[in-house]
Structure 1
Amino acid sequence: MAEPRLYDIKDAARYLEVAPSTLRYWESQGLVRARRNRGNDYRQYSLHDLIEASEIAFYRKLGVPVRELEGYRALSARGLDEALARTEDDVERRIAQLEATRARLSRQRALNAEAARLARQGMRPDAPGIARLDAIDYDEAGPWRLLVEEPWRYGVLVDAAHPNEIREAVADASPSEAGAATGTCGGAACALWRRSPGHTARTCLECLLKVAPALSESNARELFDKARGQGVEPVLIVGSYLLTATDDAGRWDFHRAWVVGESAA
């Protein structure tokens, strides 16, 4: 009968996709076995040793702590299946969390691309892409939960008569979200702004609004002046959040925004 092939620790670690030090640690905890080469006392692993070690590697990838792995090895087939079923539930939860993270990542990259587009194109005629801005009741928890989960719903409004004042808002809230954000105010009375049929590409200009995170400054005045130069008498700017980033002039919240005005023609 042919002698079984034995693998040194480097080969074993490579096949298992772990570090040699990890194999040594697992051995010290009694989780894997290694033979010794009679000539040099180096560790050697049979194919069966690798199969057992692969189970340990699998459990570790599932997040089972090393201190609990000895208990896994002592389980019956039924007990092991029950333990794996519980772990499977946890894996499903983690997958759902990762899917949500991936969706948020994809959306944020799209918002970043939107900011880059607006910076390239400058100001251009376009109807507002948001339908409503609602005031925020800062004493309510609702807006914080909503805007932390969906920061692109953070809106701002700047009145042309007071270009240094930036009002915060919730963009395109559902009735229930508007109630949570505006507290006892709620409903139409709390709408800071609503898009109307008259808000078209003839009276509105899409642009990139930059607001300091502390709301201390913005480029609103510059945008109002550009709008006048394009034949639109500005009334206000409405916008929704894209991202916060730094440019040569400082750190800003970047918003996809629209100068809403009246045609000078």
Structure 2
Amino acid sequence: METHRLYDIKEAAHHLGVAPSTLRYWEQKGLVRSGRNPANDYRRYALHDLITISEIAFYRRLGVPVKELRNYRTISLDELDATLDRTQKEVEQRLAELKDMQVFLERQRALNAQAVALQRAGMQPGTPVPQRLSAIDYDDPGLWLLLIDQPWRYGVVIEADEPNLVLESLTDLPPSEETRWEHAPESDRGLECLLRIDPDTDASNAPELFAHAAQHGMQPERIVASYLLTAAESEGGLRWDYYRAWVLGA
């Protein structure tokens, strides 16, 4: 009779890409079986055992629950097809969720890159990207859905004569009586910069930005800004909301 190669649990686990404890658990739950070495009662696996266990490992990676695989050795073709069909739908849903997460991640990296670039560049001539900032209707049921999906639509206006007052706003809504600022190309002179606001106290670097704008020969009137992200200025440092901002004036 042909002598077959047998694998101990460490070898089997290595080839299957799982931990030995996982094989023991699957055996305890009835998913897999192993032979025993009569000399020491250690588990050992034939090549065919590894093939079967690799199928179990595949289904587990797909997210098929252990309880659905307990009868794997006796599951019919129809039952297996139903399980695979259901699992395929779940995988497709997870892929769609991961795609959304990828879009969110790329967006956050782009916003972070903007913050870093603005921090390095200092104050430079620039035209505001938002065309309008409007007062927020806090009773609007769609407000949070809008800001969760498009957080950059959150903005602020800070007037030069009240540099410590932060007016929460939304960017580029239709014109209304609650418009806080609207772009006027013929009169607005802009200096682009990075605005930092303490989310707990509303303290900000707005006074310094107004002072720097004055040093550039501007008569600053206000800051308009759109939200980028929240982060500490350095490891263990103060936490700030960062905004892409423009100091506007004559």
TM over 0.5: yes
Moved over 4 A (4+): none
Q: How many residues align?
A: 248
- Identity percentage over the alignment? 54
Moved more, 111-120 or 242-251: 242-251
Structure 1: 5+ residue stretches without partners = 176-186
C-alpha separation in 2, matches of 1:171 and 1:12: 59
1:41-60 equivalences under 5 Å are 41-60=41-60
Q: Say whether the 8 Å CA contact 1:166–1:215 is kept in structure 2.
A: no
C-alpha separation in 1, matches of 2:71 and 2:131: 58
1:192 maps to which residue?
180
What TM-score do the two structures reach when normalised by structure 1? 0.87
Shift of 1:149: 2.7
1:216 maps to which residue?
202
1:130 equivalent to 2:116? Answer no
2:247 maps to which residue?
259
- SS class of match (2:227): strand
Letter in 2 for 1:220: A
1:30-179 equivalences under 5 Å are 30-173=30-173
Describe the shift of the 1:199–1:141 C-alpha distance in structure 2 as closer, same or farther (beyond 3 A). Answer: farther
Moved more, 158-167 or 70-79: 70-79
Q: Say whether the 8 Å CA contact 1:213–1:252 is kept in structure 2.
A: yes
Shift of 1:125: 0.3
C-alpha separation in 2, matches of 1:195 and 1:73: 70
Q: Say whether the 8 Å CA contact 1:160–1:234 is kept in structure 2.
A: yes
C-alpha separation in 1, matches of 2:15 and 2:171: 53
C-alpha separation in 2, matches of 1:210 and 1:73: 62
Q: Say whether the 8 Å CA contact 2:31–2:71 is kept in structure 1.
A: no
RMSD between superposed Cα atoms in Å: 1.8
What TM-score do the two structures reach when normalised by structure 2? 0.92
Shift of 1:250: 2.2
Q: Say whether the 8 Å CA contact 1:204–1:232 is kept in structure 2.
A: no
Q: Say whether the 8 Å CA contact 1:135–1:190 is kept in structure 2.
A: yes
Shift of 1:141: 2.4
C-alpha separation in 2, matches of 1:75 and 1:155: 58
